[in-house]
Amino acid sequence: MDTTALLSSLNNTIISVGWKLVGALALWIVGRVLIKFAMRLLGGGMRARGVEATIVRYAENTVNVLLTIILVIAILEVFGVQTTTFAALLAGAGLAIGAAWSGLLANFAAGAFLVVLRPFKVGDFISAGG
């Protein structure tokens, strides 16, 4: 193989990967800014309506994780990775974790009811078991 053809091919590959890296970095920066904006909007709206601080933090963290997962999948798409496999993998993992944690999910639901029904608020002190 001719060295000039090899260098030209290598140069084209480096440029192509470089542009993909620049695009992925730009997508990450823009995505994180939009996620922070969505978090501020969600938290501000919930606080304005007087929602309990625990629920606000939980909702913000949940939305942050979900949007970050979507952002990572979008960045993988920039590099040409087939993301349908990741979507199926996430769905399968969610089902497996849900089945494995069925007892824990019952306790989580009880905790969610405590937060929603508000018998206690942040900063309250309680005495239990005696």
Question: Do residues 56 and 46 touch, judged by C-beta distance below 8 A?
Answer: yes
Same domain for 109 and 50: no
Same domain for 20 and 69: yes
Question: Do residues 96 and 90 touch, judged by C-beta distance below 8 A?
Answer: no
Q: Is residue 75 part of a domain?
A: yes
User: What pTM, to 2 d.p., does this model score?
Assistant: 0.66
Give the length of the chain.
130
Residues 6+ apart with CB under 8 A from 98: 105
The number of folded domains in the chain is 2
Give the pLDDT confidence of 15-37 residue by residue, as tens digits.
888 888 888 999 999 999 999 99
Q: Is residue 127 part of a domain?
A: no
Give the pLDDT confidence of 64-98 residue by residue, as tens digits.
998 998 899 889 888 888 878 877 888 888 888 87
Question: Do residues 71 and 35 touch, judged by C-beta distance below 8 A?
Answer: yes
Same domain for 94 and 65: no
- Which residue range(s) make up the domain with 111? 82-118
Q: Is residue 47 part of a domain?
A: yes
Same domain for 110 and 58: no
The helix (H) or strand (E) run that includes residue 32 is helix 3-48
Q: Is residue 129 part of a domain?
A: no
Where do runs of H (alpha helix) occur along 49-83? 53-78
Same domain for 92 and 37: no
